[in-house]
A and B are shown apart, each in its own frame.
Chain A
Amino acid sequence: MKGLFLKDLYLIKSNIGSVFILVALSIWFAVVMENPIFALFYITLISVTTGIGTLSRDERENSLNFFLTLPVTVKSYVKEKFAFCISVGSAALLFLTAVITILKFGFGFNYVMSEILTTVLFAFLFLFIATSLMLAFQFKFGVERMRTIGLTICGLIAAAAYILSKFTDDSTIMGFANKLLGLNKAMLAAAVFAISLVVLLCSVKYSIKTLSAKFS
């Protein structure tokens, strides 16, 4: 698995220019917005997408057949992809958190630290869920169809948000949000973490099954 991990790092390195721009953009969002919540979720999403990009590269360059002749099995390949995406996402998230901390304490930015730490925690959970869903879809549908599905999902989310804002008044949404915030935060985090973990494990299992079926 270590060899595959290094291989994926090299693939990202070959695209370092784009990665640098996306990271710089995240820092810019953190600087210009009063609240860095968006930047933290943004960097989480783009890092997962970058990690998943290595799977697209393997697919596009038809490398997977060859990797499976090395000391690599379908199981270890899938597990490595999950581990890689979560590692890349975690590293990016921690990096931006460090930058935000420096901005607050070094440059006097007006961030609320407790709010940032809560956001980081939820961003980690988002990282787990995004990785689980996106990798499972990618293993199932491949690069080309995944692009269409991704756009469809984005469209559905936007449509749902529009419908929600159109037919629900603000007080209902805020009431629900306040209700959530009113819950014991540790309990809430534990519950979301447990759900994320279950989703992740199910996704790993499903992806192994999907990829195994492709080699039959």
Chain B
Amino acid sequence: MIKAKNLVKEYKDFKLDVSFEIPAGYITGFIGKNGAGKSTTIKLLLGLIKPTGGSIEVFGIDSCKLNDDTKQNLGVTLADSSFANSMNVKQINNILKLMYKEYDEEFFMSKCKAFGLPLDKKIEDFSTGMKAKVRVLIALSHKAKLLVMDEPTSGLDVEARKEILDMLRDYMTEDEERAIIITSHISTDLEGLCDDVYLIDGGKIILHEETDVIQSSYGTLKVSDSQYEKIDKNYLIKAKKENFGYVCLTNQKQYYLENYPDVVIENASIDDLILNLAGGNRV
């Protein structure tokens, strides 16, 4: 569904250089620290900026050449951009009706009502959670084949986040040919939702892994200085010096569980990957 090959975007003080492929039926997460290149990747994917080099295709079309028809199949939530705050839900509904051929007014309005979103109230008077729900519903309202969600759950409480993530799961269940790309700072959201994740740091993809594999094979080892000297480092990806010794990241958790019973080994979360891969020293 999306194919990025040697995609490069250069700025004065930043260079993004990535290659990735997102097939249909996948929910893919893009994670990384602020300024890592996630939003630049999303903008390139949406054709909002042009690459300096390489190519990125969406539905087999150069992203900069996406026309009105191909955009019918895109549903997008941007973190900092949407309809004007002076509008209300009814007005947005009327606009979307004219924009999309496959617009599902019944779905949009019924979901708005179900979420308790006032139809006549200005968006500027909505809470952060309400605004986020409207943004996601807009993206879901026209049976898009690809959803691109930039920080859809940012600033929301647990309940609102759960409701949005459930909507995204339902959206995928309806049609397996769909795909979602999502960026989020809240790693637990991605762990429970994504099939695979790309970790971006300094404009480069430093890890691409299925979430199941992360949960089953990745682990963090907490070792003292003396343990660190003795331990087999062949399966350690990164090590970070701490007060008590080292925190090491491995993608062969089972090996260390079997061979080093005295070492503290914990399951690695996406946060651990970010902290270690984007910060630690390569072993």
B-contacting residues of A (Cβ < 8 Å)?
2-3, 6-7, 10-11, 14, 57-58, 61-66, 68-73, 76, 215-216
Contact = CB atoms under 8 A, between A and B. Distances in A.
Nearest to A70: B99
B68 A68 contact: no
A69 B78 contact: yes
B81 A66 contact: yes
B78 A65 contact: yes
Nearest to B83: A63
Interface stretch (B88-96, B163-171, B221-229, B264-272): B88-96
Given A3-B95, A76-B68, A69 B84 contact: no
Kindly state the interface size class of chain B when it binds its partner: 20 to 34
B159 interface: no
Given A3-B96, A10-B87, A65-B81, A71 B49 contact: no
Contact of A72 (B71, B84, B85, B97): B71
Contacts of A64: 81
Contact of B100 (A71, A76, A215): A71
Contacts of A215: 47-50
B82 interface: yes
A2 B101 CA distance: 12
A69 B76 contact: yes
B71 A11 contact: no
List the 6 closest pairs (A to B, CB-CB), nearest first: A69-B76, A3-B99, A3-B98, A66-B81, A14-B86, A71-B68
Nearest to A69: B76
B50 A216 contact: yes
Interface of B: 43, 46-50, 66-69, 71-72, 74, 76, 78, 80-87, 91, 94-100, 148
B256 to A, nearest CB: 45
10 contacts: A3-B95, A3-B98, A3-B99, A6-B95, A10-B91, A10-B95, A62-B81, A65-B80, A69-B74, A72-B68
A68 B46 contact: yes
Nearest to B67: A73
Contacts of B98: 2-3, 6
A57 to B, nearest CB: 6
Contacts, number: 76
A6 B71 CA distance: 19
Contacts of B71: 69-72
Contacts of A216: 49-50
A57 B124 CA distance: 14
A216 B66 CA distance: 14
Given A6-B94, A68-B48, A61 B84 contact: yes
Contacts of A3: 95-99
Contacts of B91: 10
A72 B100 CA distance: 11
A69 B46 contact: yes
A122 B110 CA distance: 50
A3 to B, nearest CB: 4
A63 B84 contact: yes
Given A7-B84, A215-B47, 15 more contacts: A3-B97, A3-B99, A6-B94, A7-B83, A7-B87, A10-B84, A10-B87, A11-B86, A65-B43, A65-B80, A68-B48, A69-B46, A70-B76, A72-B71, A216-B50
Contacts of B76: 66, 69-70
Nearest to B100: A71
Contacts of A69: 46, 48, 71, 74, 76, 78, 148
A5 to B, nearest CB: 8
Contacts of A62: 80-81
A145 B193 CA distance: 45
A124 B83 CA distance: 32
B99 A71 contact: yes
Most buried by A among B48, B66, B80, B99: B99
Contacts of A70: 71, 76, 99
Contacts of B80: 62, 65
A97 B91 CA distance: 31
A133 B99 CA distance: 29
B164 to A, nearest CB: 18
Given A6-B94, A6-B95, A7-B95, A73 B68 contact: yes
Contacts of A61: 84-85
